[in-house]
Amino acid sequence: MASKPTILAVDDDPVVSQAIVRDLRKRYGGEYRLVSATSGGEALALLDELILRDRSVALVVSDQMMPQMTGIEMLAEVREKSPESKLLLLTAYADTDVAIRAINDIALDYYMFKPWDPPEEQLYPVVDGLLDDWVDAHPPETSEVRVLGHRWSERSYEIKTFLARNHVPYRWLDLERDEEARLLLDLAKRTADDLPLVLVPDGDSLASPSTRDLAAALGLRTRAEQTLYDLCIVGAGPAGLAAAVYAASEGLSTVVVERDAPGGQAAQSASIENYLGFPKGLSGADLTHRAVAQAARFGAETVLASGVTGFETRGPVRAVLLEGGDSIEARAVLVATGVSYRRLDAPGVEELGMRGVYYGASANEALQCEGEDVYIVGAANSAGQAVLNFARHARRVVMLVRGSELEAGMSQYLVDRIRSTPNVEVRLNTEVGAVSGEGHLERLTLVDRASGDEEEVRASWLFVFIGATPRTDWVGDVARDAKGFLLTGQEMMASPSGEQWPLPRPPFALETSVPGVFAAGDVRQDSMKRVASAVGEGAMSVYLVHRYLATI
């Protein structure tokens, strides 16, 4: 039987040490093994013993002010020995600055002030969040989906991306590198023509399944349960998820329709460090996971792997049309489909497809580039976050920037971090002139935009983070600007489409040219393209939906 993961509590005051262990055992003793130490040295010795015995350490809780070795000094060594353990510092208010520095210096996960009474209000909510994050990253092996395929297979890449972005634990087995993959293929009585092969625990093997079939096999919801909703939200990015939380919590029957996976572009961010309330930052996947759970808690439905093809006005009802002929009817619709990265316009790109050239990147894709060179195109925050994430694993990361400076489109904190990372090279005034390779990416032609000089480099990985193309091809006659972004409120009325507004009242702030159809987030014209602003617009849209529903 697998042993329980460990929680290690450290405090030089035996009374305090006993108290923290008592409170932690009361809440977590059923699922975790609680051990304690009264000094940093003793704690590190215990940690060494646990590591030698292959025992997982989920959380280390330490006091800051201890003799010989402070809590931060001890936790810094814990981070080196057990990098995936969650670290919680207990400190006095006077040591706040030290704790904040530790967030950057040793990736401290959280700090809180002593005393922690009552633990139900002060301690447990913090520890719950840390342990939930640790459990998400360490699923039992028996619950893992296994994906068998080839490294350069487009369909394999799509399936892995779908699983990762839907927070489904999986293990990738490359048929060319892993003997286990070849054995499993034989046991499943499949051939290479069936790849990628998805092995679902307690389910049938799936040969190159569609995302909809895969979602159904995993028990994810792919159909709406009700015949009519108050609000249908198209798109489960930050704006859509925020709207779902507020709408469902305020009693509106709510459904969210998502083509790919919740989170949108934000879900692919390895670290969002300027989001209010998270001084250490959080990953886009973590933010998405929390938001999805929060929306579900209030009763919002999420329908996955369902592409939207159009919508119709059916009297007072708006119908969102889905692939396959299904539709969802609602009294109001919110378009929160966000944007996708613009395709790279260079010879060879379309021929290679997703065999070395990718658009965006989830945080876990960096692991596949261990020890290799990675090229990233783009200079906005999303590109900067990806550069730093890949730099943790790749031998070298080369950032290709069309402009003459990074600061033009990137937050300063990311610029500073990139310039201080030794294995990151920034090439300004540079663009991709062509890509080539036999069956997958092998070479890039780089063009100096100032001189016109060309250079050919060897490369297997190219990740593109450029431009923003709105997903509005399905909205029909709803007013858009020349680039496809939706016009809302006064901006819509100021356009030629405003002459077609059918009601005597003016449109609400986020309302499109069709009454009862709203837009929020990056899909709107002149939106801020920041997670916080998308969340704000999603919340604001629910207030406007209430006002609209009161008029019909």
Does 180 reside within a domain?
yes
Does 490 reside within a domain?
yes
Does 108 reside within a domain?
yes
Does 384 reside within a domain?
yes
Does 173 reside within a domain?
yes
pLDDT at 275 over 70: yes
Same domain, 473 and 414: no
Same domain, 332 and 480: yes
Same domain, 129 and 11: yes
Which of 4-13, 91-100, 388-397, 539-548 has maximum average pLDDT?
539-548
Q: What is the 3-state secondary structure (H, E, C) of 397-423?
A: EEEECCCCCCCCCCCHHHHHHHHCCCC
pLDDT score, position 1: 39
Q: Across all residues in the chain, what is the average pLDDT?
A: 91
Same domain, 20 and 114: yes
- Count: domains in the chain: 4
pLDDT at 97 over 80: yes
Same domain, 296 and 332: yes
Same domain, 34 and 54: yes
Does 233 reside within a domain?
yes
Are the C-beta atoms of 463 and 358 separated by less than 8 Å? yes
Are the C-beta atoms of 406 and 427 separated by less than 8 Å? no
Same domain, 161 and 95: no
Same domain, 107 and 54: yes
Domain with residue 284: its CATH number is 3.50.50.60
Structure tokens at 70: 């402070």
Same domain, 449 and 476: no
Domain with residue 199: its CATH number is 3.40.30.10
Same domain, 10 and 133: yes
Q: 173-185: string of b/e by CB count within 10 Å (b at 16+)?
A: bbbeeeeebeebb
Domain with residue 45: its CATH number is 3.40.50.2300
CA distance 350 to 359: 13
pLDDT category at 201 given cuts 50, 70, 90 is confident
pTM above 0.85, yes or no: no
Last residue of one domain, picked from the residues 137, 170, 195: 137
Does 329 reside within a domain?
yes
Residue 158 buriedness (CB in 10 A; 0-12 / 13-18 / 19+): middle
pLDDT at 477 over 80: yes
Same domain, 426 and 538: no
Domain range for residue 541?
Answer: 228-340+469-549
Does 1 reside within a domain?
no
Same domain, 428 and 479: no
Mean pLDDT of 85-105: 89
pLDDT digits (tens, 9 = 90+) for 331-345: 999 999 999 888 999
pLDDT score, position 2: 53
pLDDT digits (tens, 9 = 90+) for 359-400: 988 767 788 888 999 999 999 998 999 999 999 999 999 999
CA distance 91 to 111: 7
* Beta strands at 443-448 and 454-458: parallel, antiparallel or unpaired: antiparallel
Last residue of one domain, picked from the residues 405, 440, 464: 464
CA distance 354 to 291: 29
Last residue of one domain, picked from the residues 464, 488, 517: 464
pLDDT score, position 463: 95
Coil, strand or helix: which one is 260? Answer: coil
